[in-house]
Chain A
Amino acid sequence: MTGNKAGRLSDVLRIDRALVAAMVAHARRDHPDEACGVIAGPAGSDAPLRHIEMINAERSPTFYRFDASEQLAVWREMDDRDEEPVVIYHSHTATEAYPSRTDVKFAGEPGAHYVLVSTRAEETADVRSFRIVDGEITEEPIELTGDELAVQTYKIGHTPTSIVYDCADRH
């Protein structure tokens, strides 16, 4: 049995459609540089609720790094509000939405859902979610909650159990 070594981790990301759309919008805006950010939620809830766009200090199409001062401020704020980083996301602007070797090497939040957004296709972004624990990648399905959006700007995941949206018609 691989993955979910910590046992307490859920093996699905439940997230509001509007938050996924917000991550995709951020990724589109920063394209071709990588965008990155956090969705915080109450500690222990595994529920991503509060979207925080972070500065990519590298401003690069192939690398991202949270600005160290901004990260401290945001982590402090989460601490004060008894929140944790439920989702940590970044975009890949020329490759698929799958963690790179660098992503795995620096994955420092074993409790987080690592969400990857690929903006390499112009019309529809790909969104996938992973756990990265002890250098091991485990993909997990994304379960969308909340209201259907008028415009679907993304499709979800590639695991057999995930919900796949093909309705990317923007006309």
Chain B
Amino acid sequence: MAVEVRIPTILRTHTSGEKIVQGSGDTLQALFTDLDSRHNGLAGRVITAEGGLHRFVNVYVNDEDVRFTGGLGTTLKDGDSVTILPAVAGG
């Protein structure tokens, strides 16, 4: 499954400045495992030590917020587009 992943500014230190990277995986979980093998540390910025999505990172598959489509278990198909955005939040 070849997937295009859009990387936000704050995470581009993990992708040598690249705004869009390619990855593969049947699920979001598998995709991040794949990405992390080439972009060291990227997965850790999105996935917690407990194995869930960080609360303040938004991940979208084809414009759908994955919180409503199964989180890291969201399935991917060829040509899907994944977008990562840091939530804009505060107190």
Binding site for B on A (CB under 8 A): 36, 38, 54, 58, 62-66, 68-69, 71-72, 75, 88, 90, 99-103, 105-111
Contact = CB atoms under 8 A, between A and B. Distances in A.
The secondary-structure label for the interface of chain A is mixed
Nearest to B59: A68
Interface of B: 8-10, 56, 58, 60, 63, 65, 67, 83, 85-91
Nearest to A73: B63
Contacts of A103: 90-91
A109 B87 contact: no
27 contacts: A54-B88, A58-B89, A64-B89, A64-B90, A66-B87, A66-B88, A66-B89, A68-B65, A68-B67, A71-B58, A72-B60, A72-B65, A72-B85, A75-B85, A88-B88, A102-B90, A102-B91, A103-B90, A106-B56, A106-B86, A106-B90, A107-B90, A108-B8, A108-B10, A108-B88, A109-B10, A109-B88
Contacts, number: 67
B91 A101 contact: yes
A66 to B, nearest CB: 4
Give the interface centre of B65, B67, B83, B91 by most chain A CB atoms within 10 Å: B91
Contacts of B65: 68-69, 72
